[in-house]
Amino acid sequence: MIIGVPKELKSRENRVALTPDTVKDLIKKGFTVHVENEAGIGSFITNEAYQAAGATIKTKDEIYRESDTILKVNAPQPDEIRMMKRGACLLSFMWAATNPSLVEACVDAGISAFSMDAIPRISRAQKMDALSSQANLAGYKAVLMAADKIGKILPMMTTAAGTIRPAKVVIFGAGVAGLQALATAKRLGAVVEVTDIRPETKEQVESLGGKFITVEGDDSIIIEGGYVKNVSEDFLKKQQETVARHVKEADIVITTALIPGKKAPLLVTEDMVKSMRFGSVIVDMAVEQGGNVAGSELNSTVVKHGITIIGESNIPSLLPMNASDLYAKNIVAFLLHLATPEGFKWEMEEEITKGSLITHQGNPVHPSVLRTQHA
């Protein structure tokens, strides 16, 4: 099997799907690896490093024309998919339920496509969980970005001139990103409060030294596989009212709430932004899906009502060395589960295969895609 790694074309993307260490692993197992010229340059990986690991450097056209399997971070553009061999396979993030043109291009090209964001959240698939590996890095970096913009230090400090009180950080969401943000802010000496609609996260928050802001749930909340799938407008309003006082007193607010396949819920209203102390900072980690914060702008840092609002859409890409390293390990674990050097196993009823396969040899097969087509 020839594995192809094209250069990422998405704006602001510095990651790459394979690193030299993972190329070595694949070649030892009998795969052939082709890497596009300068595909790793955004992650500070040279062509020479890939060649030393055993990969062959190719042009983009050669990668798509010759490869049996394409590995990417972001899905190829429809024009690139049309360049793939019929019967070839794609492994990447796809967000298929909200990307019908991409699915259509895969169907038209007669390829099979697996989505990294659709891998089931089960213990057997932890090594393949790229959503978690990237969210971990994003949660860490979000705190550093906020700390860089806030005009004060985070820890308490006692000096001859007096005592500086610690900064207060409020985090929306105790998923992977939120918990890493909590741990990072605590290490930097801040007082941290966290709110999440899943009551079972309270213990995790408190184990990391955070204070849990309790919001009473209701029947509208649907949680599947660790993800929030649905929440009502009434509950979001109740949550806003409960946390408004905490936001008002915060120096830094970090929001991480996403609902797969839907617009991100609005958690911080304009009135809440206005209530914050002049000079405070908000990081909206959900900005690419519409944002959790009123006034956040995609890929921009803006000041509104005296509050700095950071709207970076691709935070893991700001840490490309670690992000590429972790993603490459995720995608190689996924590939080795699905295939051998001789080809894919096509265990269609196996849980990970069934959960992540979007199109199979040109036919849409994933329930989220079939629902979209029938809607």
Out of 121, 187, 198, 361, the active site residue is 121
Whether 129 is a known active-site residue: answer yes
Out of 77, 82, 117, 227, the active site residue is 227
Whether 126 is a known active-site residue: answer yes
Out of 43, 92, 115, 132, the active site residue is 132
363-367-372-375 Cα dihedral, nearest 10 degrees: 110
Out of 64, 67, 112, 129, the active site residue is 129
Out of 126, 232, 300, 373, the active site residue is 126
Whether 132 is a known active-site residue: answer yes
Residue 359 exposed, middle or buried by CB count within 10 Å (0-12, 13-18, 19+)? buried
Distance of CA 49 to the CA centre of its chain: 27
CA separation (Å) from 233 to 63, 119, 136, 243, 271? 47, 29, 28, 15, 17
* Enzyme catalytic residues: 121, 126, 129, 132, 227
